[in-house]
Amino acid sequence: MIAVDTNILVYAHRRDSAFHEPAASSIKELAEGRRSWAIPWQCTHEFLAIVTHPRIYDPPTPLPQATAQLRAWTSSPSNTVIHEGPEHLEILLGMLEDAKAIGPRVHDARVASICVGAGVTELWTADRDLSRFPIVTRNPLTRG
Mapped to the 3 state alphabet, what secondary structure does the chain carry? CEEECHHHHHHHHCCCCCCHHHHHHHHHHHHHCCCCEEEEHHHHHHHHHHHCCCCCCCCCCCHHHHHHHHHHHHCCCCEEEECCCCCHHHHHHHHHHHHCCCCCHHHHHHHHHHHHHCCCCEEECCCHHHHHCCCCEECCCCCC
The arithmetic mean of pLDDT across residues 94-103, rounded, is 96
Whether 56 and 50 have beta carbons less than 8 Å apart is answered as yes
- 106 band by pLDDT with thresholds 50, 70 and 90: very high
Residue 128 confidence (pLDDT) above 60: yes
Helices 20-32 and 6-13 sit at what angle, rounded to 10 degrees? 110
Average the pLDDT over 117-144 and give the result.
93
132 confidence band (pLDDT: 50, 70, 90): very high
Q: What is the pLDDT of residues 54-96, one digit of tens each?
A: 999 999 999 999 999 999 999 999 999 999 999 999 999 999 9
The domains located in the chain, with CATH, are: 2-138 (3.40.50.1010)
Closest CA to 140 of 43, 11, 35: 11
**Amino acid 144: pLDDT:** 54
How confident is residue 110, by pLDDT bands cut at 50, 70 and 90? very high
